[in-house]
Structure 1
Amino acid sequence: MDLNTLIREEMQKECKKAIPFSRYMELALYHPTYGYYMSDKPKVGKEGDFFTSATVHSVFAETVADAVIKMWRAGNIKAPTLVEIGGGTGALCGHMLDRFREAVPDLYPLLTVIMIEASPYHRKIQQEVLSSHDVAKEWFTSLEEAANQRQIEGVIVSNEWLDAFPVHIAEKTKAGWQEVWVTDGGDGFLEGLNEVTPELGRYLESLDMTLPAGMRIEVNLSLQQAAKAVSRLLKKGFVITIDYGDLQEELYHPSRKQGTLMCYYRHQAHDNPYIHTGGQDITAHVNFSAWSKYGEDVGLREWAYMRQDRFLIKSGLLEKAVAHTDTDPFTSMAMKRNRAIMQVMDPAGLGGRFRVMVQAKGLDEEIKKSLYE
């Protein structure tokens, strides 16, 4: 039995002999045995399929850690908790802990780290990466599980978490909205348009935008539930969400007529989710307008929204550049560090494509001025 066979069997059980794209994406990424994120293979870095800012160089994590320290201090959080959702290889959390140990030796021993990670493969790697840090550590397999058991004061961080949620794909036709469904084409999977599922239909009815015929959009219907769970987990503190995406008016602009769905396989980007099923990453841009709205509904107030380059500069990234007289770019650690700084803040690359949203709960608005004004 393989993933393609399992998906085909599920299709055959449906009256349409097809499943919504969101279900196909869910199986491709999260099937307990064969899903991409659940498999025992590298996904991030040179041996994987894509890079993240956190894997480019530790300077990214150091800068995020400095932003978190400012939040802890501003919020008067004396025994803080750091939560990371979807931490993958543990690189971001590991380097942040290195920075905490160095920069805030008074807070470091009081720190609790909570990792929320669905993949057993990644949980094992994270445990190895974080083993050198003598702080309290906990692991949960889902955000819901963590929110049901814990309520924390501190900061919840995610880097490329929301973009990996399964999405519905809707297409505006002359007759109205239809949804992309996936069926068995014999030699592979095929997509076609059919009626929208009820929950997607309700979302599209509430969409306060006029979009042209032929326009495709991705809709993440799990954002609202995720915001509720984050708010339940966070008693007091901040949420830092780093991801590629946009506000709704930019995301659903006619210039993006084909939507934003992308796949990554061995560092090659393409737009065909029906090949390498279970063996490639599938992502879609985050609707930060929706994330902000759902957060506001449950007490997570938006305090800042900006491009990654601006967030990193405001958090002190440029001060981490190293003066040197080295001449060999292959051996110089200083030159490597400075190149990484340019890479994570490149307006045409990571710095410009990624957005950072900061939300707060249980804190006085006056604190916002000291952090972002």
Structure 2
Amino acid sequence: MEVTWREATRRALYGERGFYLRERPGRHFRTSVHASPVFAEAVLRLLRRVDAALGRPRPLDLVDMGSGDGLLATRVLAAAPPDLAERLRVTAVDLSPRPGGLDPRVAWEPQVPYGVSGLVVANEWLDNVPLDVAEMTPDGPRLVLVDPETGEERPGPAPCPEDLAWLERWWPLRSPGERAEIGRPRDEAWASVIERLAHGTAVAVDYAHPAGRRPPLGTLTGYRDGSPVPAVPDGSCDITAHVALDACAAAGERAGARATTLTTQREALRGLGVTGARPPLALASTDPAGYVRALGRASQEAELIDPAGLGGFGWLSQSRHREERS
């Protein structure tokens, strides 16, 4: 029986025996976290900036949203200097079971705790928040219904008034055949993160597109074993769609964020010291091993800031500051 894409995706990813309850992300796609330890080092530098801005609170929170295998949380904790590590309260948030062998200092929770004082990082989390798909028909926008077993689609009812308003504001459909992914559930998910942030910064990093440049046929796709596959919501693959981060930013501001930056991963990481600069050639003769190590690091940095790849991801940063606490 056909259901909406939001319901089909929810079942496929998070229902009983859902994809994300039995699989680890690293097997199926390459995130910035898995690409290089450099990403975790950059997050640590950002965490230290937040720590300084907040007056070095005790404890200092680091929350890893959609943690998957806990790798980001583990790497940041391992790289933190002792004076910072002993104040860190690290929480990995994920619906999957806690991985075996995870550092016992990392708490494993199904949702963000209230009262976070520090940094929340949501790396490729929002793109897996299920949402509905709408298609423009001669009779106006209609929800797309899908058969979860085959992926076959047909037009369904009109979206609810709230979704129609979201479409008109953030992704207007004008011509028959145009499709949009209705990002309101992601706005709400991101707003819930901001609401749980007592003071500090929350960062969302994801595939993204801005208003005015939304793809006319949408971005819904599947991933399995490192390769894109047809988006069939039968639980056998990841189901993902790019994120309207500008809409999420507006939702975050309504939820209480007081400072917003929306940029690319390339620009954000460059601001955190990730440049991809090659070491001087002279180092090859004075310290050959050091040159090889530096060259390898430069390659890793270059991948993270490549504008045609990971560097092209959207990077949304929103903050609440210490003086806002009541």
Common fold, TM-score beyond 0.5? Answer: yes
1-structure distance, mates of 2:267, 2:12: 34
2-structure distance, mates of 1:315, 1:184: 43
> How far 1:318 moved relative to its partner?
2.5
**Does structure 1 residue 113 correspond to structure 2 residue 77?**
no
1:287 aligned residue: 244
Measured on the aligned residues, the alpha-carbon RMSD in Å equals 2.6
1:168–1:334 Cα change, 3 Å: same
1:207–1:92 Cα change, 3 Å: closer
User: Is the contact between residue 242 and residue 355 of structure 1 (CA under 8 Å) also seen in structure 2?
Assistant: yes
**Does structure 1 residue 70 correspond to structure 2 residue 39?**
no
**Does structure 1 residue 262 correspond to structure 2 residue 241?**
no
> Which SS does the other structure have where 2:202 is aligned?
strand
Alignment length (residue pairs) = 317
Which residue identity is paired with 1:340? Q
Which residue identity is paired with 1:56? A
> Which SS does the other structure have where 1:23 is aligned?
helix
Which residue identity is paired with 2:189? A
2-structure distance, mates of 1:317, 1:209: 37
Please, which moves more after superposition, 155-164 or 192-201?
192-201
> Which SS does the other structure have where 1:269 is aligned?
strand
1:338-353 → structure 2 map (5 Å cutoff): 338-352=298-312
1:54–1:208 Cα change, 3 Å: closer
User: Is the contact between residue 77 and residue 154 of structure 1 (CA under 8 Å) also seen in structure 2?
Assistant: no
Q: Which among 168, 171, 179 is matched to residue 132 of structure 2?
A: 168
> Which SS does the other structure have where 2:153 is aligned?
strand
**Does structure 1 residue 193 correspond to structure 2 residue 193?**
no
1:208–1:26 Cα change, 3 Å: closer
2-structure distance, mates of 1:114, 1:195: 40
Q: Which among 91, 100, 104 is matched to residue 71 of structure 2?
A: 91
User: Is the contact between residue 152 and residue 233 of structure 1 (CA under 8 Å) also seen in structure 2?
Assistant: yes
1:216-274: CA deviation from partner (whole Å, max 9, x where unpaired): 11113322432342133211111011111022222x3xxx221111211222224x212
Which residue identity is paired with 1:86? G
2:110 aligned residue: 141
1:19 aligned residue: 3
Q: Which among 257, 271, 274 is matched to residue 232 of structure 2?
A: 274
1-structure distance, mates of 2:132, 2:247: 15
Percent identity between the two aligned chains: 28
Which residue identity is paired with 1:245? A
1-structure distance, mates of 2:211, 2:265: 18
**Does structure 1 residue 243 correspond to structure 2 residue 202?**
no
Which residue identity is paired with 1:30? Y
Q: Which among 301, 312, 321 is matched to residue 362 of structure 1?
A: 321
User: Is the contact between residue 248 and residue 288 of structure 1 (CA under 8 Å) also seen in structure 2?
Assistant: no
2-structure distance, mates of 1:292, 1:307: 14
2:182 aligned residue: 219
1:29 aligned residue: 13
2-structure distance, mates of 1:69, 1:320: 23
User: Is the contact between residue 276 and residue 302 of structure 2 (CA under 8 Å) also seen in structure 1?
Assistant: no
1:212–1:242 Cα change, 3 Å: same
1:124 aligned residue: 99
**Does structure 1 residue 317 correspond to structure 2 residue 317?**
no
User: Is the contact between residue 321 and residue 341 of structure 1 (CA under 8 Å) also seen in structure 2?
Assistant: no
User: Is the contact between residue 242 and residue 357 of structure 1 (CA under 8 Å) also seen in structure 2?
Assistant: yes
> How far 1:24 moved relative to its partner?
0.9
2-structure distance, mates of 1:155, 1:322: 32
1:204–1:56 Cα change, 3 Å: closer
User: Is the contact between residue 215 and residue 258 of structure 1 (CA under 8 Å) also seen in structure 2?
Assistant: yes
> How far 1:29 moved relative to its partner?
0.9
Structure 1-normalised TM-score? 0.78
1:68–1:274 Cα change, 3 Å: same
1-structure distance, mates of 2:252, 2:139: 34
> How far 1:364 moved relative to its partner?
6.2
Report the structure, 1 or 2, having the larger helix content. 1
